Structure 1
């Protein structure tokens, strides 16, 4: 492994109420919410305007198996979660792939396994957070990152938040620290569609937590729940103006990009796509499910980049305030299923493919990490 400098935040975190964090085995101390570092960042605050893919994508690393999330590390290195193995890979700036560590307790099956990653810097301490499926639930865990002569080491794993419903499909799984320094976690309805409308249940929600897994002060329901009425959110990000956005899998008709508001109800299962029903918040943009099946999203300036699994393309959506400016635009295709996108902080994106299932597919190990350069729209 290589020496790595100070780590900065990238993909987030998830978790919702009712189950407290377990006591850490090594008493690392309380991690207070802190403003996230912005180098790299989900959307650097000094970057504005609209952005597009400037040149062709470059393959940085290959041989990944069922990868799910990217978290940026310093000096161009990145961490990548593998859904089925529970292993976190680390990719050096020159494309060498190593192993950062394994999250014990990951139980994969169906769409569940090791999902989202996020890195938190708190003074001299560095933490890696992960969302994963366990035997009976989905949960958020964290582990300290400690430096060594060979690079970063992953320390003992502790549970931050547990009790999120798990099923064969619709497990959510994206986590991210927001501009407020709090941890946001997306959950799926876990095939219990009515749970999405019940603010007392964790399924079909976006949660907002402290770094220690407690419900954040000021949450709209007095619990970990931040928004409700979601089917299966797998992407969250923030544009330069601080607005929060989420990508959501539809059922048979419409996939969605939503602007997220505290206490907002996004309609599932009563509404899918734009309905005009005043009880719910309509999406900013919609796609036929064959064109999207969206997962990770990233923002640069006022442009949201959204990956498509079934759609096998990267979309660019220019936004302003609560609205989209014009129609979504395809800016990258030809790489198969796209699972995640993360802003590099220096004018590009990390984009992760997901063409292998990790369970004996003939193409297993063929997934790649792409670096996609961006340029501003004139």
Structure 2
């Protein structure tokens, strides 16, 4: 073989190896990760970022966190996707599609596009002394650029997943004069229903006709809000507002299930329902319409042991009526009601 041919072969092999090494190194630098920052007010901002991932067409990210440490206030797509024509969907506790502690972020495009920077931003309310390393932040990519027939520049195995927590304190601008929470109007919190998880009702605060915004004007910290009974939420003013106030709310048992609703005699409905161990009693509501506004009859059952009752309806009977039942718990000497269960229709004789 001539020297020139040998040199050409060696040069070609060298170029192939160099390109392969370069591709591996580029893939090694591709990653998505979480970045969390806690402000002095207790508000935690978590950003999901992408670096060196190149062009992709779709992705599905699952972000989890400790629900007893963080309370989700807001989620929004980041600038890293707004540059391209991506369709985004966020399933989180705010829209009711996920339980507190989980967020699923999905994005897709009809063609591969450049993705870089912030993909999604989450704002949480937390206590001021929270250690971010104990928040359970975790990131998982369940789909990444899986469009059939397309070249996958960065696969899942090339990405480096991490929860990067930075305990950084951001200075809060101090206005000339802050407004005390004592000068605001805070609405009472309605009775809540037990869910098995932490119950976090929002609060409505107004100042001179303006409704305040959580994470901007105030932060919330909950206590004893998982079990049936008395719970509390502490409101702390931030931004233009200062001071704190603690509100009490009550968690009542879940509604019972109606096992039977029949009419065996004129203008009467015989009911049977499931027993709720932690309830002190029940309330039955029967009406002529689904909205429970016409010919309404309310009956209170004072004993938890009683799960059967025959109720005489209002009106002439001989029509379709609707019935629903809820549980109540006596706390601090007062009845606190949970939500009504599913309504059931019954044809009354």
* TM-based fold match above 0.5: no
Higher Rg of the two aligned structures: 2
What is the TM-score normalised by the length of structure 2?
0.24
Structure richer in strand, relative to its length = 2
Task: Select the structure that is richer in helix.
Answer: 2
Report the TM-score when normalising by structure 1: 0.23
